[in-house]
Structure 1
Amino acid sequence: MHIVAVQGIRGGCGPTSIVAGLASALERLGKPVLAIDLCPSNLLGLHFGLPFDEPSGWTRRTQQAAFRHKELISVLPYGRDASPSSEPTLEHLAQVLQQLQPADDTYVLLDAPTDLDIRNQLEHNRQVHLLEVVEADPCCHVLLNYQLNDTPRLPKRQHFLINRFQPARRLSHDLLQLWRLILGNELLVPCVIHEDEAIREALARKQLLGESAPQSLAMQDFLALAHWCVRTVEAS
């Protein structure tokens, strides 16, 4: 299986919508997908049509199956009944994956909170890739530079993805060009996810983007991201 953790460089960058959109695009390419919510906010399942009050999730020790959304897409929410005293760990997640036994060609997409140490997994597990979501704004630029200063050689399986890109904003365009120079194509995903109201509308309908707005600009962006993901992940 191919594990892709999607994590914001800070809160509010939109990793949950990235997981949902990428799942929809990978399914369009014929790839099986298992999307897992690692965030206590428990919002990922809404993108896949689950009821907002669905209590089940991977943090419940009795949860033994994911919810099947379509033939190639399954989702495992965080759960609403998780005990704060028994915060789930990546080791627990590994046990859940062993129990679910996804097929070897499955893309396991993790919606990861910002405080989860995914980079440590990159050093020890070659199956794991990290998509760190950024927006083309000054705050993300500062946080990105903190990372580069603290870790001059970032892991090869860590990549940065620009979300909610608005090309009409000059600062956003300038930051995109600057990051391309600083990071290059190996670290910066060559495609961006444009700001598109269709993403919000899809969540309001509790549908994946490929179902709600298959011809939207954002869906074309996610298809480009899915093609990049397949080339990059399966080649490593």
Structure 2
Amino acid sequence: MPLICVASPKGGVGKTTFAAGLAFALQRLGLPVTVIDFDVQNALRLHFAAALGDPRGYVAHAEQSDWQRLALQTSGGIGLLPYGTVGEAQRLRFEARLAETPRFLEEALRGILSIPRMVVLADTPPGPSPVLNALNAIADIRIAVLLADAASVSLLPQIEQGLFYMPQATRSPLPVLYIINQVDRRRRLSADTTEFMRARLQGALLGLVHRDEALAEALASQQSIFAFDPGSAAAHDLDTIARRLGELLGDLEPHAFSVHRHRAERPIPHG
């Protein structure tokens, strides 16, 4: 079933918080969800109330052919594959295998993706990486998270020209989709930059997430934003994005690794 890659060319854009919030939002639509943390910082687990000292993760056992057995079940019912606590040598071996064995990742995820209606969300480290290249090759939906600031605007050509998610290496029928995160319309620069990016991205813009302290407060209380403050702006934004994604997921063919889609890219429906 669908594999969604969440990435960004730069750090500090709130990508992991967005990925976690999106997981909860998709679950609220009745979809089973598994999240995978591909970032050595191992921070995604904190959004799902994992213990700070829990060293478990899939990277230490990545040689197993089926990572479905390594998934942890969170209290909220979302499956979680944390990166785990590993040494530098293990990290380098894992990244080398991703780069040198093209089918390694798709074989490892085969079991999880074969679960009916399962949505798998992959959170990646910032910038180019071996895991981004591996995910780009097999993801159904590729999301780029940016901020409403000048630095993100300067990165748009890099993404649009295929220098981040490489178009020649992907099998997805969809173009790269964008999230503008931490939008603050009270600030002139943020508001103006948001409107510029909306006009430029048009149908490729998946949605906006407004700056909302409730997200940080929900994390501190170890709750989802929907449990902590369901009426918050962030909860509304994430729900809207999840519903739009739900429409896209319903239109995708089932995930089939070796006979994946070969038709031309098509635009996403306008919301």
Interval containing the TM-score (normalised by the shorter chain):
0.7 to 0.9
* SS class of match (1:31): coil
Relative distance call for 1:92 and 1:54 in structure 2 (3 A) is farther
Tell me the TM-score normalised to structure 1 length: 0.87
Q: Name 2:209's counterpart in structure 1.
A: 193
Instruction: Please give the secondary structure, in 1, of the residue aligned with 2:74.
Output: strand
Question: Which of residues 177, 193, 197 is equivalent to 1:179?
Answer: 197
Match of 2:80, SS state, is strand
1:135 paired to 2:147:
yes
Structure 1: gaps (5+ residues): none
Distance 2:41 2:148 in 1: 25
- Indicate whether 1:87 and 2:114 are aligned: no
Whether the 8 Å contact between 1:119 and 1:130 is mirrored in structure 2 is no
**Aligned pair in 2 of structure 1 residues 29, 70: CA closer, same or farther (>3 Å)?**
farther
In the alignment, which of 76, 82, 85 is matched to residue 77 of structure 1?
Answer: 82
2:202 partner amino acid: G
Question: What percent of counterpart residues are identical?
Answer: 29
**2:250: which partner in 1?**
234
Task: Name the residue aligned to 1:209.
Answer: 225
Sort the Cα spacing of 1:31 and 1:14 in 2 relative to 1 into closer, same or farther, 3 A.
same
When residues 119 and 165 of structure 1 are mapped into structure 2, their CA distance, relative to the original with a 3 A threshold, is farther
**Alignment partner, residue 67 of structure 1:** 72
* 1:1-236 matches, cutoff 5 A: 1-61=1-61, 64-70=69-75, 72-82=77-87, 83-88=90-95, 89=98, 91-100=103-112, 102-114=114-126, 115-116=128-129, 118=132, 121-122=135-136, 124-125=137-138, 127-149=139-161, 156-185=174-203, 187-189=204-206, 191-236=207-252
Question: Matched residues in 2 for 1:48 and 1:92: separation?
Answer: 27
Measure, in 1, the Cα distance between the counterparts of 2:13 and 2:198: 19
Deviation at 1:36, TM superposition (A): 0.5
Greater CA deviation, 206-215 or 94-103?
94-103
- In structure 1, what is the Cα distance between the partners aligned to 2:202 and 2:35? 28
Q: CA offset at residue 120 of structure 1?
A: 6.9
Structure 1 residue 171: Cα displacement: 1.7
> Conserved in 2, the CA contact under 8 Å of 1:30 and 1:72?
no
C-alpha displacement at 1:84, in angstroms?
3.1
RMSD between aligned alpha carbons? Answer: 2.4
Write the letter of the residue equivalent to 1:146.
Q
Q: CA deviation at 1:234?
A: 2.6
State whether residues 5 and 112 of structure 1, in contact with CA within 8 Å, keep that contact through their aligned partners in structure 2: yes
Q: Secondary structure at the match of 2:178?
A: strand
Q: Is the 8 A contact 2:58 2:83 kept in 1?
A: yes
Q: Is the 8 A contact 1:23 1:33 kept in 2?
A: yes
Q: Name the amino acid aligned to 2:229.
A: A
Structure 2: 5+ residue runs without aligned partners? 168-173, 253-271
Distance 1:154 1:93 in 2: 17
On the 8 A contact 2:113/2:120 being kept in 1, the answer is no
Q: List, as ranges, runs of 4+ consecutive aligned residues in structure 1 with deviation greater than 6 Å.
A: none
